[in-house]
Chain A
Amino acid sequence: MAAVTGTSLEFDNARQQFKIALQKSVEADDKEDVLSFVEKYQDELGLEKRAVLDQVFRDILCEMIANASEAEHLKNLINFAVQAVQQDMCSPSTPFLMMADIFDMLTIERCEDIFDLVEDKVTIWKSETFYESGKNYLLRMCNDLIRRLSKSQNTIFCGRIQLFLSRLFPLSEKSALNLASQFNLENVTIFTKKEESEKKESSADVMEVDTTNDQSSSVPIDYHLYSKFWALQDYFRRPTQCYDKSAWDVFSRYSKDVLAIFSSYKLDDTSSSSKKSAPTQQQSQQQAQNFFAKYLTSEKLLNLQLNDSNFRRYVLVQFLIIFQYLKATVKFKTQIHTLTEEQTEWLKESQQEVIKLLCETPPHGEQFCNAVKHILEREEHWNSWKNESCPSFIKEKLKEQAKAKPRPKKKRIGDDLMASGGKSLKLGHPELTRLWNLNPDNMEACKDESRVFLPKLDDFFANAIDQADPEAMVEEQYKDINHQNFQWKAYRLLARSSPHFFVHAVTPGLPINAHLKDIVDKMAKELNPNQQTEEVKSEMAVAEDDDEIKENNEVDEEMKNGEQDSASPRLQFNAEEMQSIAEKLGDSWMKLGEKLDFPADDLAYFKDSSDSTTAAALSMLTVWQEVDPDRDTISIVRDALKELGLTSILEAEDSP
């Protein structure tokens, strides 16, 4: 108990001192003063200094309001409080509570002055320190203020408050949004109805000159138009009732009549005449125009209203709005809310008429009409936005980009190779992997002996040199150098590896065989510089060993009968050999084909395209041989036949 009283005493004490300090510094307009005072202030109980300062701020404000201080002073005090919050000397809600106090206690005119401050500080309210604690206070304060204001008198102030709220809250804040597109049904336009004037009517029925009645209304009133005109406002208020059949009939009839009157009663373009005289005056008049949020519906005003171009514009724009609503697809319309074809047609016609009237209405009718059309287009966008159930305006593009970035990079083949130390590489298929890994080092693979396809110069020309020797007595036609095939190969080889090829030819246009003969002779000389002696020797040898020579001759004979390429080691079959092999192979040619790595469908093709097995085997062998002429056909076929156990064919082949 003692502790409690002690605290409260202490609080009061601190409050007194703070108040004096704050008052001083407010008068001196020195904020640092009071803040440093509070900073230094110490008490025994360790009071929460913030609470004290909060209270002191409100106390002083209360006094100031009671003394009817200037708006400037009040603003100044709030600025003090804001600074105190920024320095964490009092709680963040204090400035908001103070403003709420002000707006609760002041008259509307003075509120309007002070509201400047609220507007100016919108960035402060949105800052981190204030936003969370203050937004609800501000919303409540603004709503309270709006409730106090007259919708027809304080339109500008109302608008200021609404603008402030929309600046304060983020764009995505939907609490103030009319999500379900409901109509403001409270906006009822009251006008004199028939029932109300019943009493007057009964007295007017009397067949007398009723002078009192005369005085009551000073101008003749077209009550037909009056009632029709203002009855339309109810449709504008709640457009959905137009979908009702009988209500539609009334609506279309009334609007037709009203539009007919507007089109009959053309307004004078007063601005065009006054423009010449005083354009500035006209402009200032336009600026000073008053805006009313509600229509004045006294019947006495009707004639004046019909004369008023602004009034006419309001009504015509209302027509355009309702026409647009009736045609638009709105999510919240039900099944019943559809127009018949006839109604749509009527709407279209009337809309065009209204637009025409709007263009005719001075001043600057067409300009105004275009502006209205543009606004209504915007309304369509708004409507479709709502139909899509109000998607957020903030585009989520950034997030998507961020997601896309960490997509796995394409691995380069080399990386895998490096990882395995350059030894093996997985390609995802065993056969590919095998092929790829035949030799990991490409340069080494290229240098491999099996890759050397170029025959050695000496080996290639050995035969030709031999033949060139007149002692060999080879007939011209059998000499290698006279065969085109050999000539071509020889030239290729010479071009790559012989110095003789590039020797300047004394006689240009020499036939190829003659040229080759020259070269072969030169090569022969290089190989055997002492040819003469050898020849002598050989002559002697011939004499010594006749049998051997015979044998040699036989071999030569055979070679003459054999294939034309006999100059080089024989690699390929000739046609006769192939024919004999094919005949002997018979049905087993397919097996040979498999051995020779022919794909199954190729074999099937050979089989189908030939009449007999011999023909099929022959075409297969021919193709195989032609695929790679440099291949050692004979030995491969021989090996393959051996493996198949068809050695009998080989034997027959070997013995000519």
Chain B
Amino acid sequence: MSYTKDNRQTMQYMLHSAIYDVCFSPCGSFLAAANKFGDVALFSLTAALSPNVQDEAKCPVYTFNVYKNAGIYCLTSTDTELICSGEGDIQAYRWSDIIAKSPKVTWALSIPQKGVFSHPEINSCVIDSNSDKGTLYAGAGDNNIYAWDIESGEYKSCLSGHTDYIHKICTKDNGQGLVSVSEDGTARIWDLRANEICHIVKPYEHEMCARLDLGKWLQCLALDEDNYWLVLGGGPTMSAWHLNTLTPTVTFDTPGVSQTVALFYEDKIFSAGNSNILNHWSLTGDHKMAVPISPTAVYSIGINDTSKSNKVMAIAGSSGYVDICTNFGYRAFSLSFSHLSP
């Protein structure tokens, strides 16, 4: 089964495509990318990285539709399943089925209805597999964070407190805590055991990083492995906060450019935002590299850690292409979402 598009859609794909998230398969050989038309495309990294690479290898090996003309905002992967979330129900597909080109929805979850017309989108979705139960958290457009038991599919709880929609969430301290950043400019640290807010961080109020001309919203969120540093960015300058004292210690200044994605990797921080530059930072705030990339706004950065031979960085954003960096210092090539060659 292959997905067919009419001419108009092809045009849309070419001109207006935006890829919101990328996700590597558990085996590390495939990359899934989700766009604003509700399509998920599967790329073979092995083929794209082979010595005799041809243009076909840079196109998806398989594309399937999840939401009809509605964006997929987040891709999450478990050991066996790919979880898609966005403007619709949370849907899970088996990787093996996708790779075999016959995807089937294994399960689906929907946000509890609060009214007839409330269909909030899910902007960020994380799975806490550390705790025994295995919980899925979803940051939604209705300012709430919802939690489900992943095994049973049972709705567990709702964390509310944000005053605007949630951009991104992540778990901390082995699933005992959760951090969320929101359009309202606050980052909230939740205690999941008590299901209540521990701390509220307001970077827009801090003189080190406030940039009121760009707004107070926070979109960029990253935690280092030791849960020692919290990186927050968006309207305010991206900055590293000391989690214990909740004070900003280092800023990563990108004048006039808000950072939307950040990622800790080894002793570096990668970040990107509303410019066609991928920044490399040291933890002390030194700007190491500015790598030119193709999208003008970046929505997702992924590093394929599971496979050594396919250890690449994928950068997706406001274009129909996914940039691949074999060596993180430069853009090696781009994968094209549509079947049109790049």
Contacts and interface: CB of A to CB of B under 8 A. Distances in A.
A222 interface: yes
B50 A201 contact: yes
Interface residues of A, number: 35
A221 B330 contact: no
A213 B310 CA distance: 11
Contacts of B308: 214, 218-219
Given A209-B27, A222-B327, A204 B47 contact: yes
Interface stretch (B85-93, B235-243, B286-294): B286-294
A299 B329 CA distance: 17
B99 interface: yes
Nearest to A226: B51
Contacts of A215: 309
A504 interface: no
Q: Which of A209, A218, A303 neighbours the largest number of chain B CB atoms within 10 Å of its CB?
A: A209
A221 B326 contact: yes
Interface in A197-228: 197-198, 200-201, 204-205, 207, 209-210, 213-226
A158 to B, nearest CB: 34
A580 to B, nearest CB: 118
A220 to B, nearest CB: 4
Contact of B332 (A201, A218, A219, A225): A225
A197 B51 contact: yes
A635 interface: no
Interface in A215-261: 215-226, 260-261
Interface string B304-318: 000111111000000
A306 interface: yes
A197 B308 CA distance: 20
B333 A205 contact: no
Contacts of A379: none
Nearest to A217: B309
Interface stretch (A146-154, A264-272, A326-334, A419-427): A264-272
A224 B49 CA distance: 9
A192 interface: yes
A192 B46 contact: no
B51 A265 contact: no
Given A218-B308, A219-B309, A264-B291, A200 B329 contact: no
Contacts of B309: 213-220
Contacts of A207: 44, 61, 99, 101
B340 interface: no
Contacts of A276: none
A194 interface: yes
A265 B289 CA distance: 7
Contacts of B214: none
Interface in B295-311: 307-311
Contacts of B333: 222, 224
Interface string B210-234: 0000000000000000000000000
B339 interface: no
A222 B333 CA distance: 8
Which of A197, A201, A210, A216 has the most C-beta atoms of chain B within 10 angstroms of its own C-beta? A201
A220 B326 contact: yes
Contact of B330 (A200, A204, A218, A264): A264
Contact of A266 (B29, B47, B289, B332): B289
Contacts of B99: 207, 209
B105 interface: no
25 contacts: A194-B52, A197-B51, A200-B51, A200-B52, A201-B52, A207-B61, A209-B29, A209-B99, A210-B46, A213-B46, A214-B29, A216-B309, A217-B309, A221-B49, A222-B49, A223-B52, A260-B292, A260-B330, A261-B329, A261-B330, A264-B290, A264-B331, A265-B327, A265-B330, A306-B330
Given A194-B51, A201-B51, A220-B310, 19 more contacts: A192-B51, A197-B51, A207-B44, A207-B61, A213-B46, A217-B309, A218-B308, A219-B311, A220-B311, A221-B51, A221-B326, A222-B326, A222-B333, A223-B49, A224-B333, A225-B326, A264-B292, A265-B289, A268-B288
What are the 8 tightest A-B residue pairs by CB atom distance, in nearest-first order? A265-B329, A197-B51, A222-B332, A201-B52, A264-B330, A222-B326, A261-B330, A220-B326
